[in-house]
Amino acid sequence: MREEEVSKGLQALLESVRSYAENPIRKMEAMQQAYLRRDHGLYGQSQLEEIRDYYKSVSVKFYLATLHLEQLWSLSHASRGGLLSALENSLDRLEWSDDEKVLGSFALEGFVIQAWTFVYFYMHYILLVLRSEYRGSMTKKKFQRELVKIRQQRFAEKARRVEEYFDTRVFGSPSTTGLVSNDWGTLLESLRTKVTHRDRLRASYEGTETLLDKVLLDWPTLRGETYDRFCQQMQNGMFYMITDLSSILYELEWKAGPYREDLWQ
């Protein structure tokens, strides 16, 4: 049955990303729990419930974005299987079929929406941890405005460091060096706006990646990168934002490696 094949494919997708997606968000939860146990007196019961509730939203969005990213990588690896045929027929490029273009757009737009929603919920979450009283809709400008308002002892310095991080590492100046561009958040917001309010993402074909230095991957690109590599950079930004800001918010060192229950006990 086709329904069973689709279901099995979704289960395989989930299993392939489970350990990678769960590792950072489980560490984030463990650091949050250690922080709230240590400093529970800083928050009322309703504030604690809000913090934990928004953590769940942040973690789900990170997971969903990672699932879409895995779809793109799976499509990319499968499409590279045509290399041998291209070499045998003296072709100098690999192109996506119409079906591959549809599947690529499906996974790309899903990633963009879920990744930006992750950022949106994470900004809300940060304000809750910093004891902001703001509960309205969230934009980049509103987030920055609310951070500036935080003046309570113990939270003001955290707010300043968070603001600096977003200004330089998320919504910063374009960068072409390193694993993550400093404006990855700006890019995500722009792409999400195109997907949800304008039309669709219109791909270009400006990639220069080759296989065996002979066959060009003539696939749809964003910023000169194939969809899988472009979205991987965005996801790298999401991962580093969790690791870097968790240390600031919870006043605990982020610990590399696999998750263990005793890491912050």
Residue whose token pair is 């974005």: 65
Give the Å distances, CA to CA, from 215 to 91, 123, 197, 222.
Answer: 7, 43, 37, 20
Is residue 205's pLDDT more than 80? no
Is residue 203's pLDDT more than 90? no
More confident residue, 95 or 102: 102
Is residue 128's pLDDT more than 90? yes
Is residue 259's pLDDT more than 60? yes
Instruction: Give the mean model confidence (pLDDT) for residues 58-77.
Output: 94
Query: Tell me, what's the pLDDT at 86?
Result: 59
Give the Å distances, CA to CA, from 100 to 13, 83, 109.
Answer: 17, 16, 14
Cα separation, 104 vs 112, in Å, equals 12
Query: Tell me, what's the pLDDT at 260?
Result: 92
Cα separation, 143 vs 165, in Å, equals 13
Instruction: Give the mean model confidence (pLDDT) for residues 19-34.
Output: 94
Instruction: Give the 3-state secondary structure of residue 210.
Output: strand
Query: Tell me, what's the pLDDT at 84?
Result: 58
Q: Which amino acid makes up residue 202? A: R
Q: Contact 241/170 with Cβ under 8 angstroms?
A: yes
Q: What is the DSSP string of 102-114?
A: HHHHHHHHHHHHH
Q: Contact 246/27 with Cβ under 8 angstroms?
A: yes
Instruction: Give the mean model confidence (pLDDT) for residues 15-40.
Output: 92
Give the Å distances, CA to CA, from 166 to 121, 205, 250.
Answer: 14, 31, 17
* Greatest mean pLDDT among 95-104, 191-200, 208-217: 95-104
